[in-house]
Structure formats: C-alpha cells, structure tokens
Amino acid sequence: MTYQEAAGQRLLMELRAREAWSQRDYVTAQNLAGELAASALADSDDLGWWNATFLVAETLRKQGLMQESRAVAETLAGHALTVESKALSARVSTILSLALQGCGDLTAAVTAARQAVDDASGEIDDVGVLVGARNALIAALADSDQLDSAWHECQALDALLRSEPLSQTSGVGYWAIGNVAFLLKHIPQGVEYHGRAAKALSPTNDLDLWARFNRASASLRLTAGVIEPETLECIERAELASSIVGGSERDCLELSLTRAQWLVLTGQVEASVTLLRSIVEKKRLLATHMAAQAHFLLGQALSARGGDSGAISNLEASEGLFLQSGAEDSASTARALIDSIRS
C-alpha cells in the first residue's frame, strides 16, 4: 500500500471516529482512534498519531475510564510535539487535569491545570484552549475546597469571556464561574452566571452537555442551600436529557447522587437512605470525592432518621475519602457532624 493510499484510509477512519464521537458511541470512537494512531505510527506520521491518541484519551474520559485516560494523557505529555508546542501542551495538561479530577487526585489535578493555564496564556490562536484550561483549574480548586483561589481564577475567566461572543465555549465558562459563586454562597451571582450559561448552551446543540449543566447547577444550588422549585426543575431537566442520551454508569450514579442530595435536604429521609445505599454499593465507579459525598449524605440521612449507628460509620468513611482526595474542609465538615452526633 502506498503512503497516499494509507493516508486516504486514515482520513476515512478519522471521519468514522469523529462521527462515532458525535453520536456518543465512545467505545467505537476509541477503537477507531486506536487503529488510526497505530496506522499513523507505522507511517511515522507524528501529528496524525498525536491527534488520534488525544482522541483516545477523550473517549476514555467520556466512558468514565479516568485512570486509563490519565495514562494516555501522560504518554502524550512526553511526546516531542507536545513539548515543542504550548497549545498542544495546554490541551494535554487540561485533559490530564480532568482525568486526575475524575480519579479523585485533586492536588495533582490542580498542578496539571495550572500548567495548562500557563501554557495557554502564551501566544496561541485558539481562545477556547485557554477557556478550557481555566475551567479545569477552577473545577480542581473548587473540588479541593480552595474557593478563594478558585474565585480569583473565575474573575480572570470572566474578563476573558466578556470580550467573546456567546457560544458553547463561553457557556461552559460561565457555568464554571456560577459553580464557584454558589459554593461561596454568593447566590445572586451564581444565579446570574448560570443564567448566562443557560443562554449560551442549548439542548439542541449538545443534549449531553445540557444534561450535565443542569445536574451541576442543581448540585451547586443544593450545596448552597437553595431548595426552590427552580432547583428541582434543573434535576428533572438533567434526568430527562440523560434518559434520552444515555451515558455511562458513572454519569447515572452522579445524577442519582444529586437527586439524593435533594431528598436529604427536603427531609425525604427514607427515600434518600434507599437511594444513597444503592449509590454507595457502586462507589468504586465514582471519583474519590464523589464517593465521599455519597457517604456524607447517607450519614446525614441516617442521623436525621435517628437510632441508627450507621450514621457515624458513613461519616467516618466520608471523612477518610475527603482527606484522601485532598478536600480537607469537607473532611472537617464530616468530622464536625460526627462530633455533634456523639455529643
């Protein structure tokens, strides 16, 4: 087979992989991207190998295979093309940070995201790369309870987005800023930024993204104590969209965790205990800090029900998992609730 024929086959394979990605068939996309990377490597097509391998990392993350995505991203990080290009380095460090967050390794996720922001802040053409890097950094900082640092990054992101037209990229950015505002109990600002995000994101453009936005918006509202009809509407929109697009078992568990959080905070104790026990049974599928949240909520619910020693054991599991992931403030909250129950 001539080089031109091989290149033609790779182009066709790439188009099939991208089509599978657009159809959310991430297993097929991963397999095709893997074949594409192997073919490019055999023909010494470094850029073709790089692009295909990056797609493999993305498809693994979409499937919830965070450790595997992390390993591929680390391979990309050491490649000569990545080392020589700030734009490529920023993209790799961003996906590495997201994978590390998914693994629950929040300290390393912050480090990777800071590297991504540093690289993306140079002279690169695609503003979306910088927005993506800042989004990853904000998420990692927020999950690790570094809220003041996260808000500082939010202000820098806000200044960047205000000079850009509304788009899916800006929508994801405003979503991230709103998340931190809710965590800081800046409720009006959280509502404002999530309102901007909702205007930029559309269920017709990306129903999966719309589902994740509504789930996250509901979760952050609940964390901030906003128990209003709008919060329940966010959960219901996320559940409806997810029922249409499907998603990994991990995605379904995270959405169930948000529904459970609503049940706990609205006093529906028995329903919340039943749902949370089913989530805890599958906690191996969740990031460490998400598993910690499941144990924490179950401890809360059991404590509210009264007469169940399982409350303390779940809160102790929560504290340990929060510490393991680097979320020390959340661990302190779990410990305070344990002390309160014992006293």
Give tens-digit pLDDT for 146-181.
999 999 999 999 999 988 888 888 999 999 999 999
pLDDT value of residue 46: 94
pLDDT band at 207 (very low <50, low <70, confident <90, very high): confident
Q: Give 10 or 95, the one with higher predicted confidence.
A: 95
To the nearest whole percent, how much of the chain has pLDDT over 90?
68
DSSP letter string over 94-150?
Answer: HHHHHHHHHHT-HHHHHHHHHHHHHHHTSS-S-HHHHHHHHHHHHHHHHHTT-HHHH
Q: Give 245 or 256, the one with higher predicted confidence.
A: 256
Instruction: With a cut of 80, say whether residue 6 has pLDDT above it.
Output: no
Find the mean pLDDT for residues 217-243.
Answer: 89
pLDDT band at 316 (very low <50, low <70, confident <90, very high): very high
| Rounded Cα gap, residues 29 and 19, in angstroms | 8
DSSP class of residue 79? S
pLDDT value of residue 3: 62
pLDDT band at 202 (very low <50, low <70, confident <90, very high): confident
Instruction: With a cut of 70, say whether residue 87 has pLDDT above it.
Output: yes
Helices 46-62 + 86-103 axis angle, to 10: 20
Find the mean pLDDT for residues 277-296.
Answer: 94
pLDDT band at 257 (very low <50, low <70, confident <90, very high): very high
| Rounded Cα gap, residues 154 and 127, in angstroms | 16
